[in-house]
Chain A
């Protein structure tokens, strides 16, 4: 015999001890699916038969069962389950997790139970216990259905448990194997004309006279392309002008497999009416009923059967798409219970009503964190509501708005305007105020987290790293809506083997050669402040795409996400952004790239503009203090050594030698001061500022990681070359196997750094390069000898040997992880994923940066 149970359910085995429950369970379920009370007694009391431990054992058992059900796993309760209270606990659990309860009852003859009990080596109950259990069972038998068990199977003899086959059937809402493509259509409410127009616009063949529509296999989509199908989000009738005609068209499309449909709240009410129950006829049902009155009884029966056959939600496309009339939160998706159905039909309400007498809705979408895109209708709004991977498609067609379809998986919206306002709305159509719903929640960033960017295996963020980042993010970072990217850290090459150098291009070339690359791009490294520039075409674009409505058209922020300009420098920042936007307008960048925003990665100079505080307290301070102190010390030493012929006693210092050393030190200090002075110049307003962008990170619909670095620089030169603020970046493509090419690049580096340049950055020609060990370093830096005085101290060159022990390994691991996370953030932003999904990547970069790291690398 075959018994069908849902693939996700809670199975309660019911029967006296010795009735064969555990044996049956072992035969038909995985060992991990079966939670036995004996086993848990053993766990808590070291004795499977210790009845005194039952309460603790059941607490544990139900706790584990809860965890399994939360994760959507079938679970079997192997206990006697004879008492109503015990079963009530199981049923409550099933209800909590929206899973169907199943009872398998072992109503075995008394003799068999007694015999099996007698044969047990470890435990023997007195016969009266078994008798009491059997009496309990008999009393229970009649109640199980009423208690709420949806599947009930009773075995009356041991023979009946033989030859059983338990088949797990998918829930009706499980259509994960169907991957579309789909056209999801919001609430229609009898707007038949608009529906036909929309179907035509979507590419369906529509026969108005026959009231039929279907997807024509034109072959335009390429051979073998799957036919598109409609998904109706429910609410076919009420309020509108042609309710029955709409219903007929939908019924026909569902019947012929052209469409799927879920039940709406209006449909559910109509169904109750068709089933002969009393319902209120407000909110437009009266119109539908008036139309139905003219229909033949057969149609009424067909409509009733159609609506009765609709379920409340579907999970589609491998779980990536969920459709339900009023939406569905993650914990209910793919599950079945009254609560799930109610949520799908009506959403969640507070129980209160607003000033229009309509129920006050809880905004489940704001809390939504699921992976599946939820398409829903129900709440009429002026424009489709996208938030946190949910999209509301009821754009109030019947109220004179639009009828909206979502093309999936393309995620394009197709709309037709209502022919007229068919019905006056009870309250004005709602809209979320811009990105108002996007308040981030701390649980999306705090605690131990694991993020899996597409370019790297999962990256773990430790709790204390997240804690450090929370403080930085909250106190110092810019508005999270602007922060769509942070640049990765950059490692230097291996320490140079050459006697006179700490860093040298030879090691850089060696690294990339070892990674299997035949070319690298060498770029001049500017010495200013690393900045990310978010730029939009105008403030409207900023509001639309970034949700920032304070009238700004972008932001310049540092590599740790802090605004580059102080609060008082807003005019300066606005001017900078405005000028870039105008230049891009003039050179046709916006139009040619079909975008009205842009993210740039670059260097903003001069260094002194942002680093004045550091200069005052550290660089210039050390320079002036050192220069003068060494001069004074030298003068005193000169006088003293002139007075003395040499060391007077054994062990006394040689003052003349000390003097010589101090004069060398003085020279080092001079060169140190020369080194930092090259990166300092005065600015007045924007005058003096220079921006050297080296990446276009992203524009609308596109992350520019498919463009190589040379091309990035060429494109930037082309579109921004005429802008006085723009500073181009010198570059050189090096053929790694060619010694002449490498030595040419080395000479270039020597010249560059001798003239005061910071050094060079070497990158793989393509933006993303995979090597034998995974991602290749996105960039390595090679800094000049004079510049390194700013890093390792004015006098570092006299201690080169000691400084050469550096370990860039950890820095490189971080660079790879941060690179992958940064690109992931951009990909998510470009794909219009919810803010929290972008933010978690940016937050993770900041968290990784909280790791203590040698700051000189």
Chain B
């Protein structure tokens, strides 16, 4: 909510010219979400401080969002009015636009001069990223200090909050300082208050001009700035180095990407070899397997089912079954289904695929799942893949849970998987072949496990 800019030195009060704000006045600027105040707590001798204070009414904030989504996103109890966030960046652009552009009509030489400047941000949300502060600000010539605050001083055991006060000081041009902050506040806060469109990439490039291209943490900054949208992040990176097709993002590594490819290829091979003409992908998510299945002419009927209506919508958007030609329209179907229930529709397919689905079920649901699939539906072929928990330690950064994903309820070791799959097969009259997918690590096996079940008789 508060940004303080201090200029040190004999010409400290030049700050007023640079900011186009008279140090002897307080000024107010209306914003879509409240108002911004600019005032000078000190402007004498060799120190001059200008404050940008956001005066946001929390109720206005909630009110504005209520119609859009029932108020669920913007709670009445909300840190937004108090923290340094994209609201601050937006206010800077509105109030200090001229200064950020590096223009000063009265003293045209001033913006080109590097000054001894300090910026203090009160309550910057910084989700355990304090190490990144140094890596991001130091290459730009700042000394940084970050003072975390406790979550609640009455409950010591709760530890530190996400917030702290950030101070950066360096000999820089004011316009650079402002542009750095404009881009970097949302990099750390990560909760944008507006929808991101493609012009967001333009904004990033405009405000990052001259410093972002060569910044050693460029990809981190761009990825974070555009973080809700991976597509945008990729677009920005391509434009930054004119190298389209390079795919880097911090959330997925090349290794994970290639493992997914290998896994899907293996599943498709098994399905083709099974001779099945109709295939149901249970837990189809956004439809990555479906897309591959559609390319195989041997499958005349393909269906994707998921428990999440949102996932089904995503799959429908990507695969556009309504746009298939007349004859092929019935080839692909999408429907909602759950592995916690028996479902007559499962029996309409010769082969069922459950790719990385099992581990999202609570372990006590596995029996019901096995009954629904192997006792009720009884397809000729079932292909099932799931992570190998043993392999997790071969990944660089394990989660505290020891599992690969926040929604994983459990993960099998190789032996556990073989035991479980073997029992299911025996109980329900199937033969099972357990395989591993991916490049094995010493003593840990391959990253993924796959069970291929064939109905006996």
Contacts and interface: CB of A to CB of B under 8 A. Distances in A.
A640 B27 contact: no
Interface in A646-670: 647-649, 651-653, 655, 658
Interface residues of A, number: 74
Interface stretch (A391-399, A693-701, A848-856): A848-856
Dominant secondary structure at the A interface: helix
Interface stretch (A534-542, A626-634, A706-714, A753-761): A626-634
Contacts of B78: 618, 622, 793
Interface string A788-810: 01111111100100110000000
Interface in B52-72: 53, 55, 57-59, 62-63, 69-72
Contacts of B83: 625, 629
Interface stretch (B133-141, B146-154, B169-177, B416-424): B146-154
B163 A639 contact: no
Contacts of B149: 624, 628
A793 B122 contact: no
Interface stretch (A405-413, A450-458, A471-479, A823-831): A471-479
A624 B364 contact: no
A226 interface: no
A439 B307 contact: no
A639 B42 contact: yes
B41 interface: yes
Interface string B37-58: 1011111000000010101011
B158 A653 contact: no
Interface stretch (A69-77, A88-96, A423-431, A441-449): A441-449
B2 A442 contact: no
A652 B308 CA distance: 53
A471 B40 contact: no
Given A439-B371, A446-B336, A471-B307, A794 B343 contact: no
B243 interface: no
A467 B336 contact: yes
Contacts of B204: none
Interface string A35-47: 0000000000000
Given A439-B368, A648-B26, A655-B26, A626 B81 contact: yes
Interface residues of B, number: 71
A616 B340 CA distance: 33
B37 A442 contact: no
Contact of A793 (B55, B59, B72): B59
B158 A474 contact: no
A633 B368 CA distance: 58
Contacts of B314: none
Contacts of B2: 629, 632-633, 636
Contacts of B162: 616-617, 621
B151 A621 contact: yes
A632 B39 contact: no
A618 B77 contact: yes
A776 B444 CA distance: 63
A649 B341 contact: no
Contact of B152 (A623, A652, A789, A852): A623
Interface string B14-42: 00000000101111100000000101111
Interface in A528-551: 550
A652 B338 contact: no
A584 interface: no
A468 B309 contact: yes
B59 A625 contact: no
B76 interface: yes
B277 to A, nearest CB: 24
Q: From DSSP, what is the main secondary structure of chain B's interface residues?
A: mixed
A63 B309 CA distance: 33
A687 to B, nearest CB: 15
Interface string B370-381: 011001100000
B339 interface: yes
A616, A625, A794, A799 — most chain B CB neighbours (10 Å): A625
A442 B339 CA distance: 9
Contacts of A794: 58, 77
A623 B40 CA distance: 27
Contacts of B63: 802
Contact of A640 (B39, B82, B161, B308): B39
A673 B151 CA distance: 11
Contact of B41 (A475, A640, A789): A640
A643 B55 contact: no
B452 to A, nearest CB: 24
B337 interface: yes
A796 to B, nearest CB: 7
Contacts of B53: 633, 636-637
A677 B340 contact: no
Contacts of A625: 79, 82-83, 123, 125, 161, 163
Pairs of residues from A and B, 5 with the lowest C-beta to C-beta distance, nearest first: A639-B41, A793-B76, A442-B341, A629-B82, A474-B338
25 contacts: A440-B340, A470-B336, A473-B340, A475-B307, A480-B340, A617-B162, A618-B78, A618-B79, A620-B158, A622-B79, A622-B82, A626-B82, A628-B163, A629-B122, A632-B2, A633-B122, A637-B39, A643-B43, A648-B24, A653-B26, A653-B27, A658-B37, A673-B152, A790-B77, A793-B77
